[in-house]
Amino acid sequence: MKGIQPSAIVYRRPVASDGGHIWKLIKRAGGLDVNSVYCYLMLSDMFSETCSIAEREGRLCGFLSAFRKPAQPDTLFVWQIAVDPVLRGNGIGGKLLKDVLSRDNNADIQVLEATISPGNMASRRWFMAAARELESECSISELYDASMFPESHEAELLFRIGPFTLKR
């Protein structure tokens, strides 16, 4: 469903009661590791300043989870981005990121990081587009080898954008 009115989508911080809805969205979106509902409850409650939800007509249609790296507080690690499959292609993922970066308490973020498996072309394209939007370079390096996962899982490459200066 491309071409929806941007005003039809509301972006906001999640709250704990969103956890179950986020879990359902992650399952519906496909392609992501589905964590426990408890994980999404905690992200929504304890990391709400670095996570964002997109809602359309009262229904959750997008979610971005991220956190500041404890040893590098100027670095935002983007963990998951999910958009309802019927609404993909409307820029919702980018707007979720903009929502997080526009918050006053995140004004000092200068670097974005994420891990992306080699086969996840959609996430690779999204992260490269984010680098262009932030007018910064994106470096890619090895981080987690496939042998580190107890079950079948691709390696995870570290994508790093920055440093950049947020435009207010």
- d(C-alpha 61, C-alpha 69), whole Å: 27
Q: pTM for the full model? A: 0.90
Closest CA to 52 of 107, 17, 98, 88: 98
Over residues 7-42, the pLDDT tens digits come to: 689 999 999 999 999 999 999 988 788 889 999 999
Closest CA to 9 of 55, 49, 42: 55
pLDDT at 5: 65
CA angle 152, 155, 161 (to 5 degrees): 145
Rg, C-alpha atoms of the chain:
15
Structure tokens at 74: 């100027």
